[in-house]
A and B are shown apart, each in its own frame.
Chain A
Amino acid sequence: MLQIKNLTKIYDGGVKALDNVSFEVPDGEFLAVIGLSGSGKSTLLRCINRLIEPTEGQILWNGENITSASQDEMRRIRRKIGMVFQHFNLVHRSKVITNVLAGRLGYVNPAWSLINRFPKEDIEKALQQLKRVGIADKAYQRADELSGGQQQRVGIARALMQDPKMILADEPVASLDPVLAHSIMSHLEDINKNDGVTVLCSLHFLDLVHRYADRVVALNGGKLVFEGNPKDIDDKKFKEIYGRDAERVG
């Protein structure tokens, strides 16, 4: 169970990106986060693994207090939280397998990883994850030689290497075409349904939300404006989330 309590983030420039946001995510849920551009979705996801320091409020995860964790504790927590990014964030000049193995960095002893040594089991595991996302043959290519869809699969494989209990996906399909988007989303669905990993995924397209999410939270100007079943987003709610002038398409 992930509990977000009165979370507020004010950036250095004074922008209030999150405003007193509270909600809960039960284990094993696929939660979609929606909202306009600039509504604070990325900020919210990054506060959960403290890539961004929240200004106020608490985040509790299975009894552990993430907001007050020390640096060491935070690293132990982070390694259980996989993250997938809109722009994949792979290390371009490294090999695919190295990118995937990087998911183990929180587990391996730092001294060994300094000289690029990973245990044999980890390397086998990395190959297995690549197989799972369907690009086993690309393992020894450079990451920037892959197409966008393939790169995002590497991103997912990297998150899987962490043996995650939760995956934070920040618009994982926003820079992919619709076919690829479904293929990536179904990988996340598979991880969520078969491995029981909690998924928090920010999305721009409501059809994806309807198709994959168990539940939705919606942000507008940093405030939580909706929390519930995707089916319950009617026209009124839609205008509340996306603004009065928004038109529903598709």
Chain B
Amino acid sequence: MKNTKKTSIWKSARVGLFAFLGMVIFAYGFQTTQVDFEELRSERRQESLVRVMRALAHPDLFEYEQVEEVVNASLYVPCPAAGAPEMASQNGADPYLTLTPACAAPGETVRVEGFNFAPNTTGPVRFIPGNDPANTVSLGRDNAETDENGHFVLDLVLPKRPSDDVQFIRATLRRNLGLPHFSQSAYDTWSKIVETVFLALLATVFGTVLAIPMSFIAARNLMKPVKSPLASIGLSVLGWPVGIWFGYSIFSWVGVLSAQAGSNLWVNLLSIFAIPVITLYGFRWAVPPEEPNLPSRLVRFTRLAALFGLVVLAFFGLFQLASLFQVVGTALQAGLGAFGFLGYFLFQVGDIVAISTAGLGALAVGAALSSFLGRIGQLATERLPLATLKALNLVLAAAAMATIFGLIGQLIEWLYQPGNPVYTVWGPLIIGATLGMVLAVFTKAKEALPVGMVIYSVTRTFLNALRSVEALVMAIVFVIAVGIGPFAGMMALGLHTIVSLAKLYSEQVESIASGPLEAIEATGANRLQTIIYAVIPQIVPPYISYTMYRWDINVRMSTIIGFVGGGGIGFLLQQNINLLNYRGASAQMLAIAVVVSLMDYISSELRERVI
């Protein structure tokens, strides 16, 4: 009993201590965040707050056609020594002002009366200093409102602006004509919100497409069984740069060839119709659907050569397609009028194809060469005598590691420009080669090394590092790379989408049921087939739901990415805030709210349908 009491005292003391600590932390927080409610109560703040809130409550969306009646009345401030001059008498139907008295000292009140104005109109009555009746500078401002006879009365305090010359009082009464129509700000908001939505759409689509393959190599369960002997790893590492270089040379050459064939429409059309047919039939021949027995080496070699030829031909076709797109796109852009954007799209697609074809081709050749060499390495490991294999491993591991480190060295040179080849060329090469040799010496020659886990770890680290960079920061970099505008925002959002989705996706891959994977593997399927038949069907629902989630985020992000120059509605919003045009800003905020909630609604509906 006594004991429990003791502990409970200690307990309360501890709770008290924690409460006190919490208070201290909170107090410090108040100081650093400069909490100051006094400021809120100051009159100046409240006035501006009210003004801004009222402006925000009146989004600048509609306006009327207006007619203005502007009438000046002259007066002297103060009264000239010679006495007040006689006012020109007014008559007829024209609007006019009378001032009583006709002259006064600064700070005195004058009664302004207006006659013959249009009924039920409003507008400012201002004091115009100087002797020029067209002067646009004005002092003070009071609002006049006419009755149904077009008459108003107003007491105006004269500003302290004495002059010997004549000065003016001006009434500007405005009247709305007809029905309200959208204001310029509404049109601008509309065009920017469309830009925003498409920015989010493209970023989501690109990001998703690239995140999917990325998520497979970032999934532990898929990568863990990937193991290769050292010779195979070394050769496939070497295969990448060689293949990319070789592929890039070839496809650039094909591109030049295609350009020489001209952007002649007929050449374009012919190759675009002939090449797919040839490729398709060639492909059918070179890749038979089913082969119970392994064909002879000669047959396989012929097929490989034919496939290579077909790929080159197909890429020629792609270049031709790109140039056709550009030709047709340009024509359409001019000819389609309001639908010219279709032409623009076609042109840009052509451009993307033209730019990316050589690069993608190079990557494909790199991958192909790397996997081909990897197989050779596998065969060598199985066939070669142990001593030869040891030596081969030593050489290959050294070369491969030297290549990797050499590339890292080049990256350092590019980023930090030390300009010293000892640090960026020789050093990395020697360190890499040494490490490679150490690896070769300390592993068994035929042992299958866990490359999969290495690739997995590197990819994960890379993804985590990039994911911690905010999309807004990425946008700043892309603004520098591709200029201010929605394209920069799209690239930034797209990149951020890739890295964050790849992480989320790969977690889904890691949580799939392993049974089907095992079953498909047991049929003799290769890794790619296993992924397509056992992994993908299982991850479709979570992938869709994460893509939707990302789409929501991208819509939100795209509305503010314009703050740093990334295009979309944020740019307009920021501009209006800086110009203190709160009614304009309010229109944009309203648009953002509508679009975000609309997209939220659409995506939740879709989610329900699909899953």
Given A89-B516, A108-B289, check contact A102 B525 (CB 8 Å).
Answer: yes
A85 lies within 8 A of B519 (CB)? yes
B537 lies within 8 A of A79 (CB)? no
* A88 CA / B522 CA spacing, docked (Å): 13
> Which residues of B371-427 are within 8 A (CB) of A?
375, 378-379, 382
Task: Name A89's contact: one of B382, B518, B529 (CB within 8 Å).
Answer: B518
Query: Closest chain A residue to B533 by CB distance?
Result: A102
Task: Name A71's contact: one of B378, B519, B523, B534 (CB within 8 Å).
Answer: B378
**Interface readout for A6-48 with B: 1 if CB under 8 Å, 0 if not?**
0000000000000000000000000000000000000000000
A51 to chain B, nearest CB (A): 6
A91 lies within 8 A of B287 (CB)? no
* A70 CA / B528 CA spacing, docked (Å): 18
Report A-chain residues with C-beta under 8 Å of the C-beta of B521: 51, 78
Does B540 sit within 8 A of A, measured CB to CB? yes
B525 lies within 8 A of A105 (CB)? yes
A105 lies within 8 A of B292 (CB)? no
Does B49 sit within 8 A of A, measured CB to CB? no
A108 lies within 8 A of B538 (CB)? no
* A221 CA / B62 CA spacing, docked (Å): 84
B382 lies within 8 A of A70 (CB)? yes
Task: Name A49's contact: one of B522, B525, B528, B537 (CB within 8 Å).
Answer: B522
A110 lies within 8 A of B533 (CB)? no
Does A76 sit within 8 A of B, measured CB to CB? yes
Task: Name B524's contact: one of A90, A105, A109, A111 (CB within 8 Å).
Answer: A105
Does A153 sit within 8 A of B, measured CB to CB? no
Query: Closest chain A residue to B541 by CB distance?
Result: A93
B518 lies within 8 A of A109 (CB)? no
Of the listed stretches A114-122, A173-181, A207-215, A227-235, name the one at the interface; the rest are far from the partner chain: A114-122
A13 to chain B, nearest CB (A): 15
Does A158 sit within 8 A of B, measured CB to CB? yes
**Interface readout for B576-588 with A: 1 if CB under 8 Å, 0 if not?**
0000000000000
Does A113 sit within 8 A of B, measured CB to CB? yes
B515 lies within 8 A of A85 (CB)? yes
B216 to chain A, nearest CB (A): 14
Does B288 sit within 8 A of A, measured CB to CB? yes
Query: Closest chain A residue to B526 by CB distance?
Result: A110
B524 lies within 8 A of A106 (CB)? yes
Report A-chain residues with C-beta under 8 Å of the C-beta of B290: 104, 107-109, 119, 122
Report B-chain residues with C-beta under 8 Å of the C-beta of A197: none
Does A75 sit within 8 A of B, measured CB to CB? yes
Which of B515, B519, B528, B538 is most buried by chain A, counting CB atoms within 10 A of its CB? B519
* A123 CA / B516 CA spacing, docked (Å): 21
Does B455 sit within 8 A of A, measured CB to CB? no
Query: Closest chain B residue to A69 by CB distance?
Result: B382
Query: Closest chain A residue to B379 by CB distance?
Result: A70
A217 to chain B, nearest CB (A): 21
A119 lies within 8 A of B289 (CB)? yes
* A72 CA / B534 CA spacing, docked (Å): 20
> Which residues of B470-499 are within 8 A (CB) of A?
none
A104 to chain B, nearest CB (A): 8
* A78 CA / B524 CA spacing, docked (Å): 5
> Which residues of A77-133 are within 8 A (CB) of B?
77-79, 81-83, 85, 87-94, 98, 102-114, 116-119, 122
Query: Closest chain A residue to B515 by CB distance?
Result: A89
Does A220 sit within 8 A of B, measured CB to CB? no
Does A162 sit within 8 A of B, measured CB to CB? yes
* A225 CA / B129 CA spacing, docked (Å): 115
B563 to chain A, nearest CB (A): 42
Task: Name A90's contact: one of B288, B294, B519, B523 (CB within 8 Å).
Answer: B519
Does B589 sit within 8 A of A, measured CB to CB? no
23 contacts between A and B (CB under 8 A): A51-B518, A51-B521, A71-B378, A75-B525, A75-B526, A76-B524, A82-B523, A83-B522, A85-B515, A91-B516, A91-B520, A91-B538, A92-B516, A93-B541, A105-B524, A105-B533, A107-B291, A109-B288, A110-B529, A112-B287, A114-B529, A119-B289, A158-B519
Top 7 A-B pairs ranked by shortest CB distance?
A: A106-B524, A79-B524, A89-B515, A105-B525, A89-B519, A78-B524, A83-B522
